[in-house]
Structures are given as structure tokens and as C-alpha cells.
Amino acid sequence: MEFDELFKKRRSCRAFMPVPVTEDQIQAIVTAGQWAPSPLNEQPFEFIAVTDPTIKAQIQKAGIEAKQIVVDNNGPEWVKKYPMNFIGESPLILVVVYNPNKGGLGSYFGQPHGALQSTSACIQNMLLKSADLGLDSLWFTFFNPSTLKIVLDIPTELDVAGAVFIGTPAMEAKAPRRRTPKIHRDRFNKEK
Ligand SMILES: Cc1cc2nc3c(=O)[nH]c(=O)nc-3n(C[C@H](O)[C@H](O)[C@H](O)COP(=O)(O)O)c2cc1C
């Protein structure tokens, strides 16, 4: 697919068909993630491919708990209507974890987020590869990471960057509009 078409076609999906993602597709998606840039090429990320309905149900429960916390704390009104049922219906959840201490030299000079930055690049590669394979995806963070670490036996020294839902979309999602890019020339221009 043409690159300009690909990055516009990538869409966040919150309703999936019950069609499995094949092992070849999983391999292709995580390989795209692995090729992301990282400080000192430390590649701080690893993947947990979740297809077991019992574990999906536990991730869904973590989502429902997080939603309740937002509602109980007078969060935005729309959150009450946020559906969590698609979590259990998603054919594949790729949870991406990373070692926050593998962020290159940035912590010496005020840039401590190198590991998360490269893991974000990894996830974006995964989303784009999914779109290239004709699949939709969702980078999902609506959970308390501590809960997910217990559910998935994630070692304490690793952090969770997100749960990526991947599958065949049940309906075509509308593309939220983008603002025109703000490009400042040579210096940041506050008038822009
Ligand atoms: C770091 C990150 C976290 C996100 N977390 C969630 C989430 O928890 N739930 C959700 O429905 N969407 C989540 N999204 C998806 C955004 O809502 C979505 O990307 C945005 O609305 C633009 O839509 P598009 O991806 O279809 O272009 C997240 C996106 C990013 C980059």
C-alpha cells in the first residue's frame, strides 16, 4: 500500500469481527514493531500475545474498574458510555511492555523517557503494519498498569506501554479530523 494511503487508513477500532489473527500476521506485526528506532538500539520492548478468552476477560475487567474510577471521580460525562465489551471480543491483544532503564543516555541530561519513546514508535509501527494487512487496531491504555502486571505475570521491573487490540473491523470507523500542522520557522512563534 502507498505510504500516504497507509497512514490515513490506520484507524482506531472499537468493534471487531470474530475472525482470528493468523500466526503469520502476528509475526509480521511484531516484526514491524521490533524494527522501530530506539536509543543505542536497546530495543527495550517485548510483546505478550493474548488470545485466551479467560485472560481477555480479566483485561476487560481491568478496563471496567478503570472506567469506574473515572466515573466515581467525576470524570468526563462521555466516559459513562465508553463500551468495554469489545475487549473480550477482540481476536488478538498484543500487550507491549518495556524496560524503562533501557532508554539510552537521556537520563544524564533531562530526557528520561527514551524507553517509552521508542516503545511508542514500536507500537506505531505495529498499528501501521496491521493496517497494511487489512486489519484495524486500537492502542488502549484505559486500565491501571499494576492490575495488568498481575493479570499477565509481568516482571516488576517492566512497564506497560499499552494493550494493542487487533482484528477485522466490524464496522468502518470514521476518521477523526486532523488540524493543519503548525510549523514554526527557525524559532517558536507564539503568534501562530
Ligand atoms: C497513547 C495512546 C493511548 C490511547 N488510549 C486509548 C484508550 O485507552 N481507549 C481508546 O478508545 N482509544 C485510545 N487511544 C486512541 C485514540 O483515541 C485515537 O488514536 C484518536 O482518537 C484518533 O483516532 P484514530 O486513531 O482513529 O486516528 C489511544 C491512543 C494513544 C496514542
Nearest-atom index, ligand 1, CA of 175: 26
Q: pLDDT for 129-138, tens place per residue?
A: 999 999 999 9
Q: What pTM was computed for the model?
A: 0.97
- Residue 141, pLDDT above cutoff 70: yes
φ, ψ at 29 (rounded to 5°): -70, -45
**Ligand 1 neighbours by CB, cut-off 6 Å:** 11-12, 14, 138-142, 176
List of residues 6+ apart from 93 with CB closer than 8 A: 49, 50, 51, 56, 59, 87, 163, 164, 165, 166
Q: pLDDT for 110-125, tens place per residue?
A: 999 999 999 999 999 9
Sorted by where each begins, the domain ranges of the chain are: 12-167
Cα 144 from Cα 28, distance rounded (Å): 29
Nearest-atom index, ligand 1, CA of 142: 8
Q: pLDDT for 87-110, tens place per residue?
A: 999 999 999 999 999 999 999 999
Nearest-atom index, ligand 1, CA of 141: 8
Distance in Å, CA 142 to ligand 1 centroid: 10
Vertex 19, ends 125 and 57: CA angle to 5°?
A: 85
- Residue 180, pLDDT above cutoff 80: yes
Distance in Å, CA 140 to ligand 1 centroid: 7
How much is the average pLDDT of 151-170?
Answer: 98
SS3 for 64?
Answer: helix
Cα 114 from Cα 36, distance rounded (Å): 12
What is residue 192's predicted lDDT score, i.e. its pLDDT?
65
Vertex 105, ends 103 and 108: CA angle to 5°?
A: 115
The CATH code of the domain at 12-167 is: 3.40.109.10
